Amino acid sequence: MQLSPSLLLLALLHSVHGATVMAPAAQSTQFVTLDIVNGPVSPDGFTRIGVLANGTFPGPPIVATKGQTLVVKVNNKLTDNTMRRSTTINFDGVFIDADNVFNDGSPFVTQCPFGPGESYTYTLPLGEQTGTFWYHSQLSVQYSDGLRGTLVIYDPEDPLAHLYDVDDASTVLTVADWSHNSSVAGLASYISTLIIPVSDSGLFNAKGRYNGGPEVEYAAVSVAKGKRYRFRLINMSVRANFLISIDNHTMTIIEADGVATVPNEVNILTIFPGQRYSFVVNANQAVGNYWINAIIDSGNPAHNLNLNVTLSRGILRYEGAPNAEPTAPMGSGPTGAAAVPLNEYDLVPLDPIPAPEPDFRVTFDTFMPDLAPAMWEINNSSYVSPKVPTLVRVLEGDTSKFNQSENTFLFPANKTVEITILDTTDEGHPFHLHGMNFWVVKPNGTDVVNTVNPIRRDVSVTGDTNLTVRFRTDKPGPWFFHCHIFYHFAAGLGSVIGAGLDEVGKTVHPTEAWEDLCPAYNALPPSEQ
């Protein structure tokens, strides 16, 4: 059988990209199986039991191509009662159609978690979406224990392909914070002490070091002199933002959270939890080894003496260079006049879409009282998961009243909402919207409001100036909108956007498997929830 040119291109892409999915790239559906297990893991040389997809950290990379449908079967095989044994999976940044809101993976908003011995299959039509994404447990702070992995949707007709020569499995990069204690212990400590856990180490491509620990070999990224590489960087942290630079090299940003951007050359960037960037690096330096600086830029190291941010890094290794660490000092990247940082307000989408005028304007005032237990607030209310998921109530016709602690903001369908987030504590909250993108009309760090060509993305950070975003309510359903520092989220810094909830029953028809989730979960003993 002779493949058509388009199918041949897809087949070649998957040969190059090292696909980890079961179906061949020419198929319209990609099938993936994730077995969620407890097992040993030691990315920084300290061995602990984690919550792992297919027994690895990160979990297996998921690869798809524009236009396909992603079908992910998740088998819960967790056995360790010292950690959460139920789970849900969210595919960060992947658009969710309105009629598919029940596959968003948001516990107690769009589904009940599923317990040990149970399975659930997520079906995600990808449509025209492309770019860099990831998946993780959405339950409490469970992904701190290791349940996180990469997801890339390739575009055979990428309009920026002329800028790079290589874009494959070897150019997908991750940074993550890592803790030696379980997420359950970390969250309990935070709630009781108000001191957010500081990680034991920072990881680059799942490798790192901590003070006094073994000298784990740094992850090396191989390049050939003269070639241009599209690196896809994902911050899979529970709390930490990272300061990224590569000695003697610049980075040309071409994507933010799945949105192609006008090329923007920088030499240092900050990436917050949940964010993703693609950047092009030209391997045009002398053959050798160069530090990839991945410095944790948040938290107080005094709260965990294991953490040494200097030890958080990787190596850019040219073909022909020795298998050795760079001889240059371990730095933190360009500073002062030499620094050309990435500013979010400088990002311009390759396909600009003006931000529509808002029908509703809302202010989120974020605050945490200086009293234990730790509870973050939005407009004087801390988010607490309801016992009955929001979507279940909506489908049952019960949309008349939500408890204050559900932080559910109701808007009619097909309207534009503007939310301004006030960060009075200057914590730097990376706010993430499920199911769709928002327009960042006023990023942190500027007072300029841009409605003509603002960047569209799904994670943007607050700071010393207010953050203002706009989005459409043309996808009826309940959608999480929360801080992606999951310790903050678990302590109340979350909300639900109720978009056109009176329209949900007309389009949303969940599967029988989804309907069985809540009765099964409610029947579990607490040790298995």
Amino acid identity for residue 253 in this structure: I
Residue 153 scores a pLDDT above 50:
yes
pLDDT of amino acid 121: 98
Round to whole Å and give the CA distance between 227 and 454: 31
Domains in the chain: boundaries: 5-157, 171-346, 360-528
Q: How far apart, in whole angstroms, are the C-alpha atoms of residue 94 and residue 131?
A: 9
Give the pLDDT confidence of 61-116 residue by residue, as tens digits: 999 999 999 999 999 999 999 999 999 999 999 999 999 999 999 999 999 999 99
In this structure, the strands spanning 259-266 and 360-367 are unpaired
Mean per-residue pLDDT of the chain? 94
Q: Indicate whether 20 pLDDT > 60.
A: no
Q: What is the pLDDT of residue 424?
A: 77
For residue 82 the two structure tokens come to 């010292």
Tokens read off for 175: 């940074």
Three-state DSSP class for 337?
helix
Say if residue 325's pLDDT is above 70. Answer: yes
What pLDDT does 8 receive? Answer: 31
pLDDT given for residue 6 in this prediction: 34
CB atoms near residue 525 (< 10 Å) = 9
Residue type at 306? N
Q: 489 and 139 in contact (C-beta within 8 Å)?
A: no
Mean pLDDT throughout 250-264?
A: 98
- Alpha-carbon span 4 to 80, nearest angstrom: 49
> Is the per-residue pLDDT at 141 higher than 80?
yes
Q: Nearest to residue 389, comparing CAs of 105, 17, 199, 168? A: 105
Q: How confident is the model at residue 3 (pLDDT cuts 50, 70, 90)?
A: very low
Classified as helix, coil or strand, 262 is: strand
Evaluated on CA atoms 331, 339, 203, 279, the torsion sign reads: negative
Q: Which two tokens stand for residue 487?
A: 């310790």
d(CA 439, CA 462): 14
CATH number of 360-528: 2.60.40.420
pLDDT band at 340 (very low <50, low <70, confident <90, very high): very high
| pLDDT over threshold 50, residue 10 | no
DSSP 3-state helix, strand, coil percentages of the chain (rounded to 5)?
15, 35, 50
User: What pairs with residue 134 in β-bridges?
Assistant: 92, 150
Instruction: Kindly report the pTM of this predicted structure.
Output: 0.94
Domain 171-346: CATH superfamily is: Cupredoxins -  blue copper proteins (2.60.40.420)
Contacts of 174 (CB under 8 A, 6+ apart): 58, 150, 203, 204, 205, 206, 233, 234, 235, 236
Query: Does 15 have pLDDT greater than 60?
Result: no
pLDDT of residue 44: 98
Q: How far apart are CA 163 and CA 475, in angstroms?
A: 35
Class at the top of the CATH hierarchy for domain 5-157: mainly beta
Q: Which strands sit side by side in the sheet containing 131-137, from one edge to the other?
A: 62-65, 148-154, 131-137, 89-92
Kindly report, residue by residue over 355-371, the tens digit of the pLDDT: 999 999 999 999 999 88
Per-residue confidence band for 24, with pLDDT thresholds at 50, 70 and 90: very low
| CB atoms near residue 167 (< 10 Å) | 24
